[in-house]
A and B are shown apart, each in its own frame.
Chain A
Amino acid sequence: MTRSICGQPTPDAAHPTDTGASPHPRLRLDEYLSLPVRLSIVAALARVDDAEFAAVRDAIEASDPVLSKQAGILEQAGYLSIRKGYVGKRPRTWLSLTDAGREALSRHLEALHALIGDL
């Protein structure tokens, strides 16, 4: 189910409302992706299968704590998968976008473009 920007669950974008019309694009905005830094993380990861934490941090020009916190939230939402491991003795963290995250990004971007086009 899509979550609106106001935090209220909304009907699935693929299904028409009772009136037969598609829901307004703002109702298709995803609350998890409405924070710009989260949107940057997800948009960057959409280009790759997986990426190391530091590579994502550099790609979106964020700090370690910010990326760590937001990645944790996206993981809880089911949009991101976080894998920890070692290369030699050095710990490494790998981030990858889940299918749900990829779909959410697609929906959110479509809604954003539609809303901005409306203005």
Chain B
Amino acid sequence: MSTNHSQESHPDLKEQLRAAQLGGTGGARLARSADLAGGRYAAVMASLIGLYLLVVVYVYPQDILWLSIAATAVFAIGMIATSVSYSRLRRASGLGWSKRYSTGFALSVLLFGLGMLLLELTDVRDAWMWIPYAGATGLPLMAGVSDHLYRGPRAYIGGKTP
């Protein structure tokens, strides 16, 4: 059913739709760059957690004080510097990114803790076991974020794109 009102406001409606498309396109660009930045951040954090696990397994038992201190300092400074630079450079967060990152981070920390427990119980330090395990420790952190990058944000105004 067409009404006089809708016919009169025809150009206005089209203009509104164009404005929504402009905003949607700009927002999609923003979300894409936010997801890429978040993905890089998660990758660095995942690498740091995995590397620190290897430090705990191979460096600490050597009882070389300066090496242990240096390894811990590199890990701590790396974590802090990565977080600070991400928060300084961040211009936006993709839809649901924070929740995915938090979940991934919690799972990675859990795997790290399980690794420590395993080390304590078995005292096995074979490289074939610990190098893949270190890689697996960072996987949950990467999985949520890379899935987000690959498939894009799921929830978006009821699945409609302006």
Contacts and interface: CB of A to CB of B under 8 A. Distances in A.
Interface of A: 5, 24-26, 33-34, 36-37, 39-52, 54-56, 58-61, 87-88, 102, 105-106, 109-110, 112-113, 115-116, 118-119
Contacts, number: 130
B27 A44 contact: yes
A99 to B, nearest CB: 11
B26 A59 contact: yes
Contact of B92 (A41, A55, A61): A55
Interface of B: 1-3, 5-7, 9-10, 12-24, 26-31, 34, 87-88, 90-98, 153, 156-158, 160, 162
28 contacts: A36-B16, A40-B20, A43-B23, A45-B27, A46-B24, A46-B27, A46-B156, A46-B162, A47-B24, A47-B153, A48-B30, A48-B34, A48-B92, A48-B93, A48-B95, A49-B93, A49-B96, A54-B91, A56-B30, A59-B23, A60-B22, A61-B26, A105-B162, A112-B17, A112-B20, A115-B6, A119-B2, A119-B10
B2 A44 contact: no
Contacts of B94: 47-49
B10 A40 contact: no
Contact of B19 (A25, A43, A110): A43
Nearest to A42: B23
